[in-house]
């Protein structure tokens, strides 16, 4: 069994840009062990002053849209521009076995072999939006390690994408063309959250269909209400295969960053995200204390069969558990 690093070794390794230590530090923040959670909280607190200098980009889209391929192509392009790129790729977790494929390093073979990049696959678990519950901490660790572009890939399986929106600066939605009426089946809420729509796989025989889809999506976006930050999302074409359009995607990102910083929205948005993080942590820790309470745990297990059979209303049991917890606290 590998011996756990000391706090000082974690701190110096992360701040020194050591990828091996960075990976171990992310494993530490993902751990559910009490000792690891205590150490990781201290570590994240220590590196906070060295974080926050990157641009955080969330990338989502339905399965089959080519998220991993796009991220590999876009990430490689950014490396060629002198950027240091970290990818936090959240893999689907099985709801049956709770296991995760964790295959993003295989899908991004070229990018993962480049020493200038860092790729970290993490299981999504049951977190809404397909984002690991510890992704926020992982972002901060990557920033402290010197990465200036953080790409967060979500599972994209139809769950709420609000989770990723609340931890990134820019939300990129990948779309496909040539699959019938492009406007059918689009979740309005996801489109409203997007800061940029990219029609992927715009190459070869699919290019004409992609151009038509671009017009349809752009027209649809004009029907949406004005955004809080007064940013009007564009629709761009790109090809992960040929590299077409990747420069325009980055140009759009740079324009967004410049305008949001000038208006003050960039800092306001990050401040709001920190408060959301606080709320999430409060709910998480309260749930942990509640569910670990011995008498609550005992009653929960005893009454579950009644809920399962339809004999007992879950709302009533939940209230009984809460009353028991408060009476014993």
CA nearest to 217, candidates 240, 244, 238, 237? 237
Q: Where are the domains of the chain?
A: 52-262, 277-328
Rounded Cα gap, residues 73 and 123, in angstroms: 23
Question: Can you read off the two tokens belonging to residue 20?
Answer: 């091996």
Q: What is the mean pLDDT of residues 87-112?
A: 58
Would you state the pLDDT for residue 95? 38
Q: What is the mean pLDDT of residues 52-79?
A: 92
pLDDT > 60? residue 92? no
Rounded Cα gap, residues 228 and 285, in angstroms: 32
Question: Can you read off the two tokens belonging to residue 275?
Answer: 């408060």
Q: Give the tens place of pLDDT for each residue, 128-169.
A: 444 556 889 999 999 999 999 999 988 655 554 778 888 999
Return the H-helix or E-strand segment holding 198. strand 196-199
Beta bridge partners of 121: 89
Rounded Cα gap, residues 102 and 122, in angstroms: 7
Q: Give the tens place of pLDDT for each residue, 231-284.
A: 999 999 999 999 999 999 999 999 999 999 999 999 999 999 999 999 988 998
Q: How many residues does the chain have?
A: 329
- The count of C-alpha atoms lying within 13 angstroms of the C-alpha of 313, restricted to the half-sphere facing its C-beta, is 4
pTM: 0.88
Pairing outcome for strands 85-91 and 234-237: unpaired
Q: Are 105 and 124 in contact (CB under 8 A)?
A: no
Q: Is the Cα torsion angle 132, 136, 139, 141 positive or negative in sign?
A: negative
Q: 138: which residues sit within 8 A by CB, 6+ positions away?
A: 26, 29, 30, 88, 120, 122, 132
Sheet containing strand 196-199, strands side by side: 117-123, 85-91, 149-153, 55-60, 170-175, 196-199, 234-237
pLDDT > 60? residue 6? yes
Tell me if the domain spanning 52-262 has CATH number 2.60.120.10.
Answer: no
pLDDT band at 61 (very low <50, low <70, confident <90, very high): confident
Would you state the pLDDT for residue 196? 95
Most confident option among 86-100, 127-141, 295-309: 295-309
Q: What is the mean pLDDT of residues 102-126?
A: 72
Q: Give the tens place of pLDDT for each residue, 199-231.
A: 999 999 989 999 998 998 888 888 787 788 999
Average pLDDT of the chain, as a whole number? 86
Q: What is the mean pLDDT of residues 49-78?
A: 92
Rounded Cα gap, residues 120 and 14, in angstroms: 14
């Amino acid at each position: 069994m590998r011996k756990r690093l000391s706090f000082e070794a974690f701190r110096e390794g992360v701040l020194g840009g050591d990828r091996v230590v960075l990976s171990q530090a992310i494993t530490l923040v993902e751990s559910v062990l009490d000792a690891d959670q205590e150490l990781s909280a201290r570590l994240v607190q220590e590196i906070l002053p060295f974080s926050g200098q990157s641009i955080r980009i969330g990338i989502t889209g339905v399965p089959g849209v080519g998220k991993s391929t796009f991220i590999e192509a876009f990430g490689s392009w950014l490396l060629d521009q002198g950027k240091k790129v970290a990818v936090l790729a959240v893999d689907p977790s099985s709801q049956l076995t709770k296991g995760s494929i964790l295959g993003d390093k295989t899908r991004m073979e070229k990018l993962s072999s480049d020493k200038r990049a860092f790729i970290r696959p993490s299981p999504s678990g049951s977190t809404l939006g397909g984002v690991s519950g510890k992704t926020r901490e992982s972002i901060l660790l990557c920033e402290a390690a010197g990465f200036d572009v953080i790409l967060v890939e979500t599972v994209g399986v139809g769950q709420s994408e609000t989770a990723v929106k609340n931890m990134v600066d820019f939300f990129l939605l990948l779309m496909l063309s040539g699959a019938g009426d492009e406007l059918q089946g689009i979740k309005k809420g996801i489109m409203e959250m997007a800061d940029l729509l990219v029609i992927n796989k715009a190459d070869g025989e699919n290019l004409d269909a992609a151009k038509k889809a671009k017009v349809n999506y752009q027209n649809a976006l004009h029907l949406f209400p004005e955004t809080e930050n007064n940013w009007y999302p564009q629709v761009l074409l790109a090809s992960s295969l040929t590299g077409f359009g990747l420069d325009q995607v980055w140009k759009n990102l740079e324009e967004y960053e410049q305008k949001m910083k000038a208006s003050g929205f960039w800092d306001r948005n990050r401040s709001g995200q920190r408060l959301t993080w606080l709320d999430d942590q409060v709910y998480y820790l309260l749930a942990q204390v509640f569910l670990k309470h011995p008498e609550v745990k005992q009653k929960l297990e005893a009454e579950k069969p009644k809920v399962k059979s339809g004999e007992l209303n879950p709302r009533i049991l939940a209230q009984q558990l809460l009353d028991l917890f408060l009476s014993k606290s």
